[in-house]
Amino acid sequence: MAKPDDLYVHFLPEEKPFVDRAWEWVVNAGDYHELKLTGFLDPRQVLILTSLVNRHPDAAVRFDGGYEGAERCRALIAPDYRDLASESVEMKVISVGSDDERISELDHGDYMGAILGLGLKRDKIGDFHVREDGCHVIVSEDIADFLNLHLRQVHRVSVWTDVLELDQLKQAVSAVEPLDITVASLRLDGIAGDVYRLSRSKVLIPIKAGRCRINWKTEEDPSKPLKAGDVVSLQGFGRFKVLELEGMTKKGRYRVKIGKFV
């Protein structure tokens, strides 16, 4: 199937390499009856791949992140006659624990940094479930033994590991800190500045440097208006969700309810 002329219309320029690669997966599945198991995709990539599969009449896709509601998922792309429900998604759980009580102080970034520091690529790693006594990480099956052998320290804390099956996953519910703020406008820079307690000049730096994402899509425009349901991440500062727009104050400012992931 030829590449559609309007393939890139709905995507950002920097997303073109992924769009090209994903379209090749779709064509190989629909036209040449190939099965493709991808690495872990973020929600934006899942959205892109879904839209591309919908363009091909003979391709189908299944997304699986190891548990219901997973944020990062692997995709199985195949001809539409194939039963994808019976195919393996080739994932394991790495259980990380320690006898050091400081393990309760470790967060998502500490575990990710330790794993990526071993030379692994992000697309080999799914969701992290951080608890006070350690962490369960969903990973591609082909790196499970490597991690089990080499992951021995997370941010100065000595750890031990074990390889588990997906049905042994202990999920952790993300903690959300509620914030009620009032802002002059619904602009990205104004709301993000209040959430992260940064001055406007300081919050502009990561936004204009391409380190901000709204709904997993890079956003460099600080004047971008936010709406209820938007998930915003600012590299190095964390992530928050706009829970609700609650109207105006008497002074004409917007009341906004925020959920900050902690």
**Edge to edge, what strands does the sheet with 36-41 contain?**
36-41, 73-79, 59-64
Tell me the pLDDT tens digit for each residue of 107-161: 888 999 999 999 999 999 999 999 999 999 999 999 999 999 999 999 999 999 9
Residue 173 has pLDDT above 80, yes or no: no
Query: 97 and 154 in contact (C-beta within 8 Å)?
Result: no
Residue 2 or residue 254, greater confidence: 254
44 plus 24 within the same structural domain: yes
Asked if 188 and 255 sit in the same domain, the reply is yes
Q: Show the tokens assigned to 206.
A: 């990561």
Question: Do both 33 and 104 map to the same domain?
Answer: no
Q: Is 89 exposed, middle or buried (0-12, 13-18, 19+ CB in 10 A)?
A: buried
Residue (of 246, 199, 190, 189) closest to 220 by Cα position: 189
Pair (159, 182) in one structural domain: no
Buried b / exposed e along 160-171 (16+ C-beta atoms within 10 A): ebeebeeeebee
Same domain, 183 and 252: yes
Distance CA 112, CA 18 (A): 23
Rounded mean pLDDT, 239-253: 93
pLDDT digits (tens, 9 = 90+) for 70-109: 999 999 999 999 999 999 999 999 999 999 999 999 988 8
pLDDT of 168 > 90? The answer is yes
Question: Are residues 152 and 206 both part of a single domain?
Answer: no
Is the per-residue pLDDT at 2 higher than 90? no
Res 6 pLDDT > 90: no
- pTM here is 0.84
With respect to residue 4, please indicate whether it lies within any of the assigned structural domains.
no
**Percentage of the chain modeled with pLDDT above 70:** 100
pLDDT at residue number 252: 93
Give the strands of the sheet with 125-131, arranged side by side.
Answer: 125-131, 134-140, 91-97, 160-164
- The single-letter code of the amino acid at 221 is D
pLDDT at 175 over 80: no
- Among 127, 142, 168, give the residue marking a domain's end: 168
Residue 64 covered by a domain: yes
Q: Note whether 59 and 30 are within 8 A (CB).
A: yes
Task: Examine the fold and report which residue of 105, 140, 168 is the final residue of a domain before the chain moves on.
Answer: 168
pLDDT digits (tens, 9 = 90+) for 223-243: 999 999 999 999 889 899 999
What local confidence, expressed as pLDDT, does residue 109 receive?
85
- At 214 the pLDDT is 95
Decide: 84 and 76 in contact? Cβ < 8 Å: yes
Would the pLDDT of 39 be above 80? Answer: yes
Residue 105 has, within 13 A of its CA and on its CB side, a CA count of: 7
Q: What is the pLDDT of residue 229?
A: 92
Q: Which domain holds residue 226?
A: 176-261
Structural domain total, the chain: 3
Answer whether residue 258 shows pLDDT above 90.
Answer: yes
What pLDDT is attached to residue 10? 85
> Are both 73 and 106 inside the same structural domain?
no
**Given a cut of 90, is residue 176 above it in pLDDT?**
no
**pLDDT tens digits, residue range 179-208?**
999 999 999 999 999 999 999 899 999 999
Residue with tokens 């393996």: 88
Can you give the CATH number for the domain in which 53 is found?
3.30.1370.160
pLDDT of residue 3: 82
